[in-house]
Chain A
């Protein structure tokens, strides 16, 4: 009788143990599964959607190359350039000479200028850069055609010698707008 009681208890214990395991494991397993099983277009990381490069074109000019992936765009009026050098406290960036963008009637903002693909522009400096170089920062902000915007991007680079850009990468073809089942995340 005692033997049977012990066996019964062991059975109950196993059941309870399993229950505990399930109960405890469940919250952890949620962290590993997708929040929602739905379609997801392949949106790019910001640093891939918006590629920044800059060079010292001459001692008083920084040239920017801003490459934008297909299906994405940036706002002209969101570009902000700053420059400085610890050994040249008076060095600053002047207003960028931005080319005309494409005027679009944005439902949120009205008529705004945007850039797509790639845009080059100069950022004049108020004085010639000395040997120690210059620290250059560009703020930019862009969105994807599919209807989402990226937080303002802040790109920084140290430039110490007049030189060329690194070779430009091929335009990025994103899968924005692709809602085919193949793009579903599991």
Chain B
């Protein structure tokens, strides 16, 4: 009788352990890249966040927003890709400076699994106008009321812009930076976490 009890309890605990480990793997936001100094992400003039994200990639994938072309986009479509989310606004000069580079990188590395999107702390009219003027064709979403709040929950305690995060194809948040992202940083992300099956990363 006691043996049966222990066997039963053991099975339950083993199942729980497996579930816990799976959830840990699936929804972990544990960092796996970016060295403090000398790495591709510690260039001069950068500002990087060491704050803690309290939103998981799973919560990001659950979002759905309307882009600058009026198309409703479910973020779940980008799970399994290298998803870069850039928080920006038309009133933020450093934000505008990096966006042409984002557009270029999106064009070049779409086949490597890179998907860049922008969430603006701005209204839809400003976002549409800027997108048309600057020919930014990766998805941009206007969320004047919610963008800064989401950015803060992703670790940007002071609500600064620009702020960018990257989520690896396995759902881990692997990059979290306040300030402009450099082309070298983005390229390093593609090389390390892109899907190099369809096109070769230079």
Contact = CB atoms under 8 A, between A and B. Distances in A.
A5 to B, nearest CB: 7
Interface stretch (B39-47, B67-75, B104-112, B186-194): B39-47
Contacts of A109: 93, 96
B121 A30 contact: no
B59 interface: no
Nearest to B11: A16
A106 B29 CA distance: 36
B27 interface: yes
Contact of B24 (A10, A27, A33): A27
Interface in A137-186: 141, 143-144, 146-152, 177, 179, 181, 184-185
Nearest to B91: A141
A36 B95 contact: no
Contact of B93 (A39, A149, A181): A149
Give the most central of A26, A78, A108, A147: most B CB within 10 Å: A147
B13 interface: yes
A181 B42 CA distance: 12
Interface stretch (A41-49, A86-94, A123-131): A41-49
A28 to B, nearest CB: 10
Given A146-B179, A150-B160, A151-B121, A107 B20 contact: no
B31 A107 contact: no
A9 interface: yes
Interface size bucket, A side? 35 or more
B13 A13 contact: yes
Contacts of B41: 38
A20 B50 contact: no
A61 B48 CA distance: 43
Interface string A23-34: 110110011111
B6 A6 contact: yes
Interface string B7-50: 10110011011011101100111110011110001101111111
Contact of A23 (B20, B29, B173, B178): B20
Interface of A: 2, 5-6, 9-10, 12-13, 16-17, 19-20, 23-24, 26-27, 30-41, 43, 45-46, 78, 106-109, 141, 143-144, 146-152, 177, 179, 181, 184-185
Given A23-B19, A38-B41, A181-B37, 16 more contacts: A6-B3, A16-B14, A19-B14, A19-B21, A23-B20, A27-B23, A36-B176, A38-B48, A39-B37, A78-B91, A106-B93, A108-B94, A146-B47, A149-B160, A151-B121, A151-B161
30 contacts: A2-B3, A6-B6, A13-B10, A16-B14, A20-B17, A26-B20, A27-B27, A30-B30, A35-B49, A35-B51, A35-B173, A36-B176, A39-B48, A43-B178, A107-B93, A107-B97, A108-B92, A109-B96, A146-B45, A147-B94, A148-B162, A148-B178, A149-B91, A149-B92, A149-B93, A149-B162, A151-B121, A151-B159, A152-B91, A181-B37
Question: Top 7 nearest A-B pairs by Cβ distance?
Answer: A108-B93, A23-B20, A185-B50, A108-B96, A148-B160, A149-B92, A9-B6
